[in-house]
Structure 1
Amino acid sequence: MSSDPTLVLRDIHAVAAPSWWPPAPGWWLVGVAVLTVLAGFLWRHWRRRRRHARIADIFDQAIAAAPSRPQAVAAMSELLRRAARLHDPQADRLQGDAWLVMLDRGLEPAVFNTPQGRLLLDAAFRPDVHADEVQALQRIARPRFILWMMQR
């Protein structure tokens, strides 16, 4: 083989690596999909929080609108019965301990089969109920009402 000085071989040069920007079209699609899913989760979370706040307001306004404490207890009982009817069509017909058992279903510990919860059975018929008792009942009835209403 003769070596020709005009034919100089040079090293192979690698092609320059593609730049990171702009990304390939597939990455744009992945980005759009991720943003869409994220926006969907945020929208759902926002709607759920807004619904939770509206349900809590319904409960609070009904209690605040009651002119007396026994009527406030009656309003709590009515709201709980309406919410319970969404889960069991026969729930609004339950009375006494059966109603308290229904309210306690799925709760640990059972909060309605306590002196505060038993107010639902007879406080609406008393001439007067102590304000602390009504507040204690409201603390256990409000979360139950919200939970049942959010599950529909």
Structure 2
Amino acid sequence: MGDGLVLRDIHPSAAPSWWPPAPGWWLLAAGLLFAAAALLGWHLLRARRRRRLLALFDAEADAAAGPVAEVAAMSTLLRRAARRRDPAADRLQGQAWLDFLDAGRDTPRFDGSRGELLIEGAFRPDADPARVADLRAAARERFVEWMEGRA
């Protein structure tokens, strides 16, 4: 046994370091950051547009000289927004107009006294401010939905 090779134990190499990551991980992180920034930017633009639409609706309604004129202003705004869905929608009258306003909704918002006020309110000598405020909430919501291209 004399002149043989001396065998030594096998020592495993050290595990690779987790830092810095491989280039593929950097690309994935950059892609995720870009997607998150784009999503945030899109969300912020939609929120800004929604605020502008709400301000437009409120400015038009607030400029009205009394509850009757406010109903007329809301009707005009709704008809303007309705043209975005159907160019002939602004010529609908009576129940057909109310049905169009509620189209695609699970719960009708413009039925009963609210719809009656919207159709006839601009032609009355006076209107109940509480009922006009109730109509305004529903009209404002529908206006923004249509102007944003939803529902």
TM range (shorter): over 0.9
Mapping for residues 22-33 of structure 1, pairs under 5 Å: 22-33=20-31
| Residue of structure 1 equivalent to 2:10 | 12
The percent identity for this pair of structures is 52
**Separation in 1, partners of 2:87, 2:119:** 20
| Residue of structure 1 equivalent to 2:47 | 49
| Residue of structure 2 equivalent to 1:98 | 96
**Separation in 2, partners of 1:57, 1:8:** 88
Cα deviation digits, residues 66-95 of structure 1 (max 9, x gap): 111111000100000000000001001111
**Separation in 1, partners of 2:105, 2:142:** 9
Per-residue deviation at 1:97?
1.0
**Separation in 2, partners of 1:113, 1:90:** 21
Structure 1 range deviating more: 83-92 or 106-115 = 106-115
Determine if contact 1:123/1:129 at 8 Å carries over to the other structure.
Answer: yes
Q: Point out where structure 1 has 5 or more consecutive residues left out of the alignment.
A: none
SS of the equivalent of 2:145 reads helix
Cα deviation digits, residues 45-75 of structure 1 (max 9, x gap): 1111111111111111111111111110001
Cα deviation digits, residues 103-124 of structure 1 (max 9, x gap): 1111121121220122111111
**Separation in 1, partners of 2:33, 2:90:** 45
| Residue of structure 2 equivalent to 1:107 | 105
TM-score, length of structure 1 as denominator length: 0.93
Mapping for residues 1-150 of structure 1, pairs under 5 Å: 2-4=1-3, 7-150=5-148
Q: State the one-letter code of the partner of 1:4.
A: D
Q: Number of aligned residue pairs: give it.
A: 150
TM-score, length of structure 2 as denominator length: 0.94
- 1:79–1:3 Cα change, 3 Å: farther
**Separation in 2, partners of 1:64, 1:109:** 27
SS of the equivalent of 2:147 reads helix
Q: Point out where structure 2 has 5 or more consecutive residues left out of the alignment.
A: none
Q: State the one-letter code of the partner of 2:3.
A: D
